A and B are shown apart, each in its own frame.
Chain A
């Protein structure tokens, strides 16, 4: 078994080692419940003092597009709920560049999701971080727990 170097482990207030959780989103919104129920995991998980981030790959990038209106479908629109992630300290939403390119999307097509940095006088900062496939591969390797939605 791989030896773990404990010196770099961050602990939370309870003194337990903090784990890196990444929620990988690969489904388009509304066609299935996976994005909505995945979002619920992210919001609940935020209360556990772990290092939480989300990745949007493939059709998952469509979850973040602007202008979603489900009124005529009569189903709950979870798009506005992404706006709450910053308040729950889920501030790292990694979006794969290649997935955007394949779908003809740019950063401007995505919702403006932000968080307020307490350490910089509550300055508003963007939560969406567009990364390359290679960078995302590195990020995945750094995680302790990875869930796919």
Chain B
């Protein structure tokens, strides 16, 4: 399943709820304000790094750029995708859950 999360983990429980319910092997795409979860050295970094051991984490690049998050600030190993990659993730997974 592809899970999309759009809220900052510092503001909302959506990401934690998603990670608690997503099965191993899921694709998790951070969009909109959720891209802040991809930053290294934050209180959420270990949560993301732990999720990366069982699922694949993606971040929507236009949302990162809009928020001025450069690659030097990001957790290593997170995959960057554009909207074309977002579509590809939706195609290759059998369904999408949008965690609002």
Query: A residues bordering B, Cβ < 8 Å?
Result: 1-2, 4, 24, 26, 57-58, 133, 136-137, 140-141, 143-146, 148
Contact = CB atoms under 8 A, between A and B. Distances in A.
A144 B99 CA distance: 15
Contacts of B22: 137
Given A57-B17, A148-B98, 20 more contacts: A1-B91, A1-B92, A4-B94, A24-B97, A26-B14, A26-B17, A133-B20, A137-B21, A137-B22, A137-B23, A140-B1, A140-B21, A140-B97, A141-B1, A141-B23, A143-B95, A144-B95, A146-B97, A146-B98, A148-B99
Interface string B5-49: 000000001100100111100000000000000000000000000
A2 B27 CA distance: 14
Interface in B66-100: 91-92, 94-100
Contacts of A26: 14, 17, 100
Contacts of A148: 97-100
Contacts of A140: 1, 21, 97
Interface of B: 1, 13-14, 17, 20-23, 91-92, 94-100
Given A137-B23, A140-B1, A145 B17 contact: no
Nearest to A26: B17
Contacts of A4: 94
A78 to B, nearest CB: 19
Nearest to A137: B21
A60 B96 CA distance: 20
25 contacts: A1-B91, A1-B92, A2-B94, A4-B94, A24-B97, A26-B14, A26-B17, A58-B13, A58-B17, A133-B21, A136-B21, A137-B21, A137-B22, A137-B23, A140-B1, A140-B21, A141-B23, A143-B95, A145-B95, A146-B95, A146-B97, A146-B98, A148-B97, A148-B98, A148-B99
Contacts of B91: 1
Nearest to A24: B97
A140 B23 CA distance: 9
Contacts of B97: 24, 140, 146, 148
A148 B97 CA distance: 8
A148 B12 CA distance: 15
A114 to B, nearest CB: 27
